[in-house]
């Protein structure tokens, strides 16, 4: 069979540096990050550069020596994985280059909501929820972390304990009461 019919299709996504599932930074905003989030992204970048990429390059090089590349699974998978790694490296490098590290412990003891705050709030039905406001690249909804550009975070920012804020939801306007604002103590991991 002709190689033209067996080659992996180029989807043109190679130039797309945004990782799937991660929102782009809003235009004109800074890429705020906690020191821990910055460290995690940096560690991921170093792992990709120092460990994972060299392993895949070695596998692809070995597979390339084994003859017909069009039917060589190790070669084809390796090349695909290498593109994924390179895309993630470009993404992490760009995001780290424009990162503005903001240490939430600088606000320790304050009752006003800023980046890095852990906020407990109650809705109109009295249901309480606690969230931590983090950077776009480090927020994890399953861990109760939201991005600082999320609607809930934007509604809470600059409010104080005891304040009532309004949040526009798909179900309409919802009133939330800020119950508690906490920040990690200086030197404390968050």
pLDDT at site 23? 63
For the chain, the domains span 30-101, 104-182
Residue among 101, 92, 78, 68 at smallest CA distance from 17 = 92
Query: Architecture of domain 30-101 in CATH?
Result: Orthogonal Bundle (1.10)
Chain mean pLDDT for the chain: 86
| DSSP states of 71-140 | G-HHHHHHHHHHHHHHHHHHHHHHHHHTEEE--GGGGTT--B--TT-EEEEE-TT--EEEEEEE-TTT--
pLDDT digits (tens, 9 = 90+) for 34-43: 999 999 999 9
What percent of the chain has pLDDT above 90? 64
**What pLDDT band is residue 2 in, cutting at 50, 70 and 90?**
very low
pLDDT at site 6? 45
pLDDT digits (tens, 9 = 90+) for 119-159: 999 998 989 999 999 999 999 999 999 999 999 999 999 99
Residue among 50, 139, 140 at smallest CA distance from 42 = 50
Question: Please, are residues 19 and 48 in contact by the beta-carbon 8 Å criterion?
Answer: no
Beta strands in 57-139 (DSSP E): 99-101, 118-122, 128-134
Q: Is residue 24 predicted with pLDDT exceeding 90?
A: no
pLDDT digits (tens, 9 = 90+) for 54-93: 999 998 888 888 877 777 788 889 999 999 999 999 999 9
Mean pLDDT, rounded, for 145-174 = 94
Q: Which CATH number fits domain 104-182: 3.40.720.10, 3.10.50.30, 3.30.300.30, 1.10.287.110?
A: 3.10.50.30
């Amino acid at each position: 069979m002709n190689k033209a019919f067996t080659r992996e299709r180029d989807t043109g996504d190679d130039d797309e540096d945004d990782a799937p599932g991660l929102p782009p930074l809003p235009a004109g905003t800074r890429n705020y990050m906690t020191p821990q989030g910055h460290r995690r992204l940096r560690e991921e970048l170093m792992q990709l550069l120092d460990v994972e990429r060299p392993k895949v390059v070695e596998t692809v090089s070995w597979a390339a020596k084994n003859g017909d590349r069009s039917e060589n699974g190790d070669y084809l998978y390796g090349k695909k994985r290498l593109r994924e790694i390179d895309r993630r490296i470009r993404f992490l490098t760009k995001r780290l280059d424009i990162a503005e590290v903001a240490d939430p412990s600088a606000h320790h003891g304050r009752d006003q909501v800023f980046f890095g705050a852990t906020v407990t709030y109650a809705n109109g039905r009295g249901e309480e929820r606690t969230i931590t406001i983090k950077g776009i690249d480090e927020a994890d909804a399953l861990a109760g972390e939201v991005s600082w550009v999320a609607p809930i975070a934007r509604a809470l920012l600059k409010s104080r304990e005891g304040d009532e804020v309004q949040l526009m939801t798909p179900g309409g306007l919802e009133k939330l009461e800020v119950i508690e604002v906490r920040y990690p103590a200086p030197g404390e991991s968050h």
